[in-house]
Amino acid sequence: MPVDICRVASVSNSTNTTPDRAWTPLSTVSTTNGSCIMNKLCRQVSIESPGPVVKNCVFNFFVPIEDTPALGARIKIVCAGACYRRRDRSASFSSMSSVASDLSDYCASVASSQSSPAHAGIREGSLFPGFEVAGVIESLGNEVNEDNNCGLHIGQRVIVYPFEEAPAGYAELLVVPDLKYVVPIPDHLPISVAAMLPTGALLAMNAVFKAHDVVIEMLKERSSDANDSKKKCKILIVGTGGLALWAVRIASYHFASTGANNYIDVTVASLRDEGFRLATEMKSVSVVQWNECLYEPQLIERTQNMCGGPVDVVIDFGTTSRSLHRSLHCLSKVGVVLISEEVAERLLPKFSRLLSETQQKIIPIPTGSLEQLHDLVNLVAEKKIQPPPYSVFPCEQASEVIQKLCNSEIPGRAILRFRDIE
């Protein structure tokens, strides 16, 4: 629970080693004409990049929390999806899934060539997890009334859209400056499931919708060719972490409900044995396993054989240049690869020369819109889209959870619970 600053004067500032607003020492918290008053502390969990040297990658801190904004809300966090955001890479939000292949850029145990930023034993502040959050409204701003409350009320179960400059969600309280970012969830939707929706599932939905748009444009161009117009478009989804598992489920529903399954075939390229099993549960998709023990030409040939030739669109949820390079080789001459904006910022410069020599395209995909998040909540609540497998853990077990994620010991997604309300 939040506590008054005057009651925790003994809290040491030595834990605040990162020059970030969320980690400002108590002695430097300031006010400007009374517009920003931080008169309480709340507990926050910081999860660092795991590494072979520093085994303890989870730290607990007391951090100052702002008063409720006049037209905003303060959310009491109940559940948060286990995800990372690299602040030194991008201002976008993306959920890193529970499958170790998706953690290759963050876990030294998965990618030995990637050094852990925690290797020197110093707290590293670039990872502030918890952008997939669900909770209850603790308070509303003093200027919120019946005319502008967006139908929200204190005690209501909600999730938070990942707005710009969103603070870390692995804290007891989360301040939201505008009520439009607060999305109510139905009482019958488990709050642990709702916590997976704001970033990972939303990004997957936006990627599927963009892939559909790309296919429609391709079909328009093919309409003049009698032979090509009869061919189905082929979509390859790469990865079987949380993002890919959501994408497969969303694609199955969306293409069936729009009739697009009549002209689109979906294949999943699984990166892990565990992911292969989960992906095969979807009857409407084909699955090909990307066994890293094989040579690249073998994997590309295996994929094209499964798909019936080069694919038209790849939704690549991998995080490495190797994965993207393989996706491009599985692609048709005028095909398109969709990757998240955060990954694109790092990988696009490496492929700019290659793309200039071909007609292929790489398109970055943003997280998704607020309207899409409202639609996603309704679809999951109505069980039209089933969530991928997930496991819920007490936040006190965060350290063990991270190690299990890196070792691919948790199927699907991992959710941390901060308090019980159900």
Residue-wise pLDDT for 344-378, tens only, equals 888 888 888 888 888 899 999 998 999 999 999 99
Contacts of 291 (CB under 8 A, 6+ apart): 299
The predicted pLDDT at position 159 comes to 96
Domain 201-365 has CATH 3.40.50.720: yes
The predicted pLDDT at position 280 comes to 60
The predicted pLDDT at position 111 comes to 38
Question: Which residues of the chain are modeled with pLDDT < 50?
Answer: 1-34, 84-129
CATH topology assigned to domain 41-87+124-199+369-417: Quinone Oxidoreductase; Chain A, domain 1 (3.90.180)
The predicted pLDDT at position 231 comes to 79
The full set of domain ranges for the chain reads 41-87+124-199+369-417, 201-365
The predicted pLDDT at position 104 comes to 36
The predicted pLDDT at position 176 comes to 93
The predicted pLDDT at position 110 comes to 38
Whole-prediction pTM value? 0.79
Which residues in 224-251 are b (16+ Cβ under 10 Å) and which e?
Answer: eeeeeeeeebbbbbbbbbbbbbbbbbbb
The predicted pLDDT at position 292 comes to 74
